[in-house]
Amino acid sequence: EYLFSHMSRAVLNADENLIEKLKKIIVYIKRKNRDIILTGVNKPKFVCSSDAAYKRISYESRLGYMFHLVEEDEKIEDIKIYENIIKWKSKLNKTLVDSTTSAECLAAKLALKHVHKYIDICKQLWGDDIQYVHMIDNLPLLKCLEKEKFEEEPRMNGCIKYNVQNLKDLKGKVVWV
């Protein structure tokens, strides 16, 4: 998805060098292609993983998330990245950030903006409260969410509070992976 995003933006201003790079990317994608597998779920658990890539020199970042629907008793470590994906997104962050943790916080916010809609659909289909798990790979962000404060970057406190509020509304559990 990250490659496709770059490709789509790059095609607008393509030169010969860029076209050669795009061809190499397409060949790579074809070789590494893996089908997305959808399997039936009896008692669902909604799992979101959010992540970000951060460039320290330019302060730019890319945000992304992926939603999975798995069996309620499935362990987080057993979830396969290409199975039961129901939504994913990757986008260039227009806000410059000063750390990976800031970028990760914004990625979680991006995901949480869309989670309610999908959980509501799941509730209509299964008629139960759906367990929600949000996976992150940034330990400082986990600590900020627990404290409900981003001491190192106070300008991110609004984003932290937004994420905490949504996680509480969803009765969600944050898991560091």
Q: What span, in angstroms and rounded, lies between the C-alpha atoms of 166 and 140?
A: 19
Contact 67, 44 (CB under 8 A): no
Strand 60-71 relative to strand 44-55, pairing: antiparallel
pLDDT tens-place string over residues 104-151: 999 999 999 999 999 999 999 888 789 999 999 999 999 999 999 999
pLDDT of residue 37: 79
pLDDT of residue 31: 74
> Is the full-model pTM beyond 0.85?
no
- Which sign does the torsion angle of CA 141, 146, 150, 151 carry? negative
- Say which DSSP state 151 is in: S
- Residue corresponding to tokens 């893996």: 34
Round the CA-based radius of gyration of the chain to a whole number and report it.
18
Give me the helices (H) in the chain, please.
Answer: 2-10, 16-32, 100-126, 139-147, 157-169
Contact 108, 134 (CB under 8 A): yes
> pLDDT digit of tens for each residue in the chain (177 aa)?
444 555 555 555 567 777 777 777 677 767 776 677 788 899 999 999 999 999 999 999 999 999 999 999 999 888 887 788 889 899 999 999 999 999 999 999 999 999 999 999 999 988 878 999 999 999 999 999 999 999 999 999 999 999 999 999 999 999 999
Tokens linked to 127: 């008629």
